[in-house]
Chain A
């Protein structure tokens, strides 16, 4: 089953955060975030208090899924890059290693050329980080490793008591 659980560890989480923090600065971006293809937000940086990152994450993943579906119908490789230009905000969407999506939102303080350049470098770094993460996730675990192995029916019931 391809229902591989996704786990984020401290080491990789920190590495990813470093990359997105730097990308915000280097690209003069407003917001940078990383989403997995299922729409789960992995990391974000920049002016994130003023955007709804959860909604953005889900819609970006939907967008990538839809264009991926179109590519398949055209027997084309998945479109790795998308760019949408608005009046004030622009959005640059980049697939990273076919697993996660790197999104950069920027305005006139930056430019598409600069964003492209910085995204390229960040993508290379992210590919390596996620490859390592996937290796780690695929290593066989040991009993008791899951923080959920100990939960009781009562714990689950309690979640719904409010």
Chain B
């Protein structure tokens, strides 16, 4: 659920990185954090276990710049990928505007990827979202490892509807910003479609102060 503040002329959107345990969600955010100018980012918050597994979420606020005089802000979240944290994943999906699915390309993670994707679809469904209708991109991560499935195989398993897909080596940052841009574009494009509720001409209270 994007949040448009007509008064402060800013728009806030929520992006969620989803995927199985250890696929590299937190690594994606860490790379974005490291490579972003200090004035365009806030603090990155990681609620993690002592072994650096995500326990509740990672959070990174980013400012991307202005569109038509509106500041665009993206709030990036990761979910905990481990199966038993499902209750937390549901909470973090609330109000989501766009989803990145980070798949672990290693052959032995094929099943974990598919389970996590199914879990994403059903958790979204519980909240009235349809994965096929919301801004959604796919990232095939860990392309640097030797034991990976081919992109064609991954596509067949995980991306039958052909949403935008990106190969990545998140540990060294390859593909990380491409993925982020990919989903951010879809979210902004979605906003263009959206009608502004209640902002009828002749409703003076609804007019933004310029």
Which candidate, A25-33, A103-111, A120-128, A138-146, is the interface stretch facing chain B? A138-146
Which residues between 106 and 162 of chain A lie within 8 Å of chain B, taking CB atoms? 136-143, 145-151, 155-156, 158-160, 162
- Cβ contact within 8 Å between A142 and B6: no
| Contact status B188-A136, CB under 8 Å | no
Cβ-based interface call for B206 (8 A): yes
B95 A37 Cβ-Cβ under 8 A: yes
Is B21 in the interface zone, CB < 8 Å from A? no
Q: How many A-B residue pairs have CB under 8 A?
A: 182
Classify chain A's interface size.
35 or more
Query: Chain B contact residues (Cβ within 8 angstroms of A): what range?
Result: 35 or more
User: Do the beta carbons of A139 and B45 come within 8 Å of each other?
Assistant: no
- B191, A38: Cβ atoms closer than 8 Å: no
Contact B2 A5 (CB under 8 A): yes
1/0 contact string of B74-101 vs chain A (CB within 8 Å):
0100000000000110111011000000
A 1-23 binary contact with B (CB < 8 Å = 1; else 0): 11111111111011000000000
Contact with A along B190-204 (1 / 0, CB 8 A): 011011111111000
A5 to B195, CA, bound (A): 9
Considering the chains assembled together, what is the distance between the CA atoms of A10 and B198 in angstroms? 13
> Inside 8 A of B90's CB, which chain A residues have their CB?
69
Instruction: Judge whether B4 and A5 touch: CB under 8 Å.
Output: yes
Q: Please provide the 10 A-B residue pairs with the shortest distance between their CB atoms, ordered closest to farther.
A: A38-B95, A145-B196, A146-B196, A145-B199, A141-B195, A13-B7, A65-B91, A11-B205, A136-B198, A139-B198
Identify 21 residue pairs between A and B in the complex whose beta-carbon atoms are under 8 Å apart, listed by A's number.
A3-B134, A5-B1, A5-B4, A7-B198, A8-B8, A9-B198, A9-B206, A10-B206, A10-B208, A13-B5, A40-B3, A42-B5, A52-B43, A54-B42, A55-B42, A55-B61, A59-B59, A65-B94, A143-B195, A151-B68, A151-B188
